[in-house]
Amino acid sequence: MVNKDFFKALDDLEQERKIDKATFIQTLETALTSAYKKVYGEAKSAMVKLYPERNTIRIYSYKTVVDEVTDEDKEISLEEARKQKKSYKVGDIVAVEETTKDFGRIAAQTAKQVVMQKLRELERQQAASELSEKEDELLTTVVKRIDGDNVFVQIAGTNTEGALMKQDQIPGDKFQVGDRVKVYVKKIKDSFRGPQIQVSRSNIGFVRKLFELEIPEVASGEVIIKNIARDAGNRTKVAVYSDKPNVDAVGACVGNRGSRINTIVNELNGEKIDLVEYSDDPLEYIARALSPAKVLSVETNDSLNMSQVIVPDDKLSLAIGKGGQNVRLAAKLTGWKIDVKPESYVKPVKEEKETEYELTELTDEDSFNSMSDLDDLEEINGDEEN
């Protein structure tokens, strides 16, 4: 089994597959030793050694020198030991080379298994290394198979599938085998079966990467996406900003006659996108985040991280949104709890001929997050929905 071709094959594997030859030989020696013991007895203290420089394999059993042999697998008489080396004495360990004619076939099978296992392990490692660079990237993939609500896509240039689970799909997504589909790589995990890739179309990273793909100013960094709040399939709010006075952040994202933003909306199956110009002033930022509703005033309480927003009575439903969606996304976008009140809620108080507005103190109970105002708005909730 052992000849020049075998060891030349190891050299080729090292060059072509980048396998460290020394590590590979060590793995082979361990596997061949184990195979030898299974055939000739586990009790034997044996070792298989490979000598690539001489293109040979040697099998050694290790025995203790004794006056009288009681276990031939582990012991050797002093007389036999001194035939190899006259200086041996009782208690020494002697390496005895074994000559087994029929071990060649077993060794060949074992070596083949080790080589195949090592190659599979290497392929998994290489695939994981290549795919790790694709994490947090937007990829165009091909639908390979559909299993119930879950879709499995082929990652271009690899033999690896990406799993697009039901919760990672945009509501309304429809797929057929062979379809080309854009996905966001949100996570890659290595396992004994190889890399497991989780891809998504509902993740906010998918929207961010679409903006980078379709809007050159975002890709170049001239326009910065400060934050994204998303209700996949319904509405997304994107806060954009530019520190360059000659760059209109919102206008750059919209494009000529809406060409850029429409391309993104089409990829998202018609999902509404509100472009919000970011501001360091929380009052202004909160007011803009409630777009498309008009805001009359905003007050904030820094200690509670809460804000109270006043809107025209006829815009209350629009500001809150269906099911509280608009104000919920605005809160997520800005990082502030937002309590929306109609203009009629404000009670004018005359003092020194000036009109002031008396606002109730903001507390956690007053926060819109409690959804306390929705019951009264149920009938008009969708009248002005955009």
Q: DSSP secondary structure string, 235-259?
A: EEEEEEE-S-TT--HHHHHH-GGGH
Cβ-contact 276, 282 below 8 angstroms = no
Residues 6+ away with beta carbon under 8 Å from 326: 235, 290, 293, 318, 319, 320
Choose among 224, 240, 380: nearest CA to 317. 380
Distance (Å, rounded) from C-alpha 15 to C-alpha 21?
Answer: 9
Task: Give the single-character DSSP code of 303.
Answer: T
pLDDT of residue 94: 86
User: Beta strand 194-200 with 161-164: parallel, antiparallel or unpaired?
Assistant: parallel
- For 12, half-sphere exposure in the C-beta direction (CA atoms, 13 angstrom radius) is 7
Choose among 168, 157, 92, 95: nearest CA to 130. 157
Residues 6+ away with beta carbon under 8 Å from 116: none
Distance (Å, rounded) from C-alpha 233 to C-alpha 268?
Answer: 7
Q: Partners of 154 in the beta sheet?
A: 142, 161
Lookup: tokens for 183: 């996905």
Q: Partners of 142 in the beta sheet?
A: 154, 180
Q: Partners of 65 in the beta sheet?
A: 76
Cβ neighbours of 90 (radius 10 Å): 11
Q: What domains sit in the chain, N to C, each tagged with a CATH number?
A: 4-131 (3.30.1480.10), 133-200 (2.40.50.140), 206-278 (3.30.300.20), 283-386 (3.30.300.20)
pLDDT of residue 311: 95
Question: pTM higher than 0.95, yes or no?
Answer: no
Distance (Å, rounded) from C-alpha 189 to C-alpha 71?
Answer: 51
Cβ-contact 107, 32 below 8 angstroms = yes
Distance (Å, rounded) from C-alpha 63 to C-alpha 73?
Answer: 7
Cβ-contact 127, 158 below 8 angstroms = yes
- List the pLDDT tens digit at each of the 386 positions of the chain: 455 667 777 777 777 766 677 777 887 778 777 777 776 665 567 777 887 777 777 777 788 889 888 887 788 888 888 888 888 899 898 887 776 666 666 666 777 777 777 777 776 666 666 667 778 899 999 999 999 999 999 987 777 788 999 999 999 999 999 999 999 999 887 666 666 789 999 999 999 999 999 999 999 999 999 999 999 999 999 999 999 999 999 999 999 999 999 999 999 999 999 999 999 999 999 999 999 999 999 999 999 999 999 999 999 999 999 999 999 999 999 999 999 999 988 755 334 444 443 443 444 433 333 333 444 444 434 444 44
